[in-house]
Amino acid sequence: MVADYSRQLPKADDATLKEWAYLDTFDMLSPAYDYPVTVTELKHWFEEEDLRDIEVHKGWNGVEGGGVKRSDEC
C-alpha cells in the first residue's frame, strides 16, 4: 500500500506528491505505538468535558468529531 494524493490534489507537482507519498506511507506502515480511538471513546471524552452538540463519526483518516464548549452561565 502506498499513499496516493494525485486525485485529491490534481494541481500538486510531482515532487510534492512523491514527498507526501513517502511520508504518509511511512506513517501508515511503521508506527511503534498506534492505538486508534473508537467512535465510542471519542464521544465519551467529549461528554466528560461537558460539550454540547457533539458529533462523532468515522472519517477519511480515522475518527473525527467535534462539539461546542458550554459557556459559563451566571
C-alpha 53: how far from its chain's center?
19
The mean pLDDT of 34-40, rounded to a whole number, is 88
- CA Rg value for the chain: 18
- For 56-69, write each residue's pLDDT tens digit: 999 887 899 999 99
Sign of CA dihedral 45, 33, 27, 29: negative
The C-alpha cell of 58 is what? 468515522
Higher pLDDT, 74 or 22: 22
pLDDT of residue 73 exceeding 70, the answer is no
Break the chain into its structural domains and give their ranges.
14-69
DSSP 71: P
